[in-house]
Amino acid sequence: MNINFAPAITLATFAIGFCLQAAAQQSNSASTSVESPFACNRLALSPEQRKRHFDELGPALRTLKTDMRELPDGFEFKFPSDTKTYQKVAEWVAGERVCCPFFDIDLRSEREGGALWLRLTGREGTKQFIEADFGKWFKP
């Protein structure tokens, strides 16, 4: 009995090629996605989340902030590294990612129990947005 596997191999090769092409197109479209505007979309958060983020966490973090640094493309804010502060900063970051998706947000903990740093940066114009929208964060 002679079995011809050529059609099956050709079909498998076509399917693999099709999947690779689709993945490449998806990757290309992701890299050319539209950037969100420089505006805080408060409605991206539920009413409870907005209250927590803007009325509780934001003011709490402003009082906990011990220092700040200006960066070429944004700012870095220094906080104590205790567990409660770290949790508040992390919760604030989770909300900020939703309402201001144009930010690049980094949290950095210094070794040996050192400070916690929150870095807000992004594309051209991000620093100016921070200066305008985060005015209370710059007061001592």
Q: Are residues 56 and 77 in the same domain?
A: yes
Strands (E), the chain: 67-71, 74-79, 103-109, 116-122
Q: How far is CA 96 from CA 74, 85, 122, 128, in A?
A: 15, 16, 13, 17
Q: Are residues 126 and 64 in the same domain?
A: yes
Find tokens 């996605």 and name the residue: 33
Predicted local distance difference test score (pLDDT) of residue 3: 55
| pLDDT, one tens digit for every residue, the chain (140 residues) | 555 544 444 434 434 443 444 444 444 444 556 787 788 889 899 999 999 999 999 999 999 999 999 999 999 999 999 999 999 999 999 999 999 898 999 999 999 999 999 999 999 999 998 999 888 888 87
Predicted local distance difference test score (pLDDT) of residue 1: 54
Q: Are residues 46 and 25 in the same domain?
A: no
Cβ(140)–Cβ(70) below 8 Å: no
Q: Are residues 133 and 98 in the same domain?
A: yes
Q: Are residues 64 and 95 in the same domain?
A: yes
Q: Are residues 5 and 52 in the same domain?
A: no
Cβ(116)–Cβ(109) below 8 Å: yes
Q: Are residues 27 and 54 in the same domain?
A: no
Q: Are residues 74 and 129 in the same domain?
A: yes
Total domain count, the chain: 2
Under 8 Å CB-to-CB from 116, ≥6 apart: which residues?
78, 79, 80, 81, 85, 86, 89, 107, 108, 109, 110
Q: Are residues 27 and 62 in the same domain?
A: no
Radius of gyration for the alpha carbons in the chain, expressed in angstroms and rounded = 23
Predicted local distance difference test score (pLDDT) of residue 34: 78
pTM: 0.73
CATH number of the domain where residue 51 is located: 3.30.1360
Digit-coded pLDDT (tens) for 92-110: 999 999 998 989 999 999 9
Predicted local distance difference test score (pLDDT) of residue 4: 52
Q: How far is CA 43 from CA 21, 35, 133, in A?
A: 37, 18, 16
Q: Are residues 3 and 58 in the same domain?
A: no
What is the domain range of residue 22? 1-33
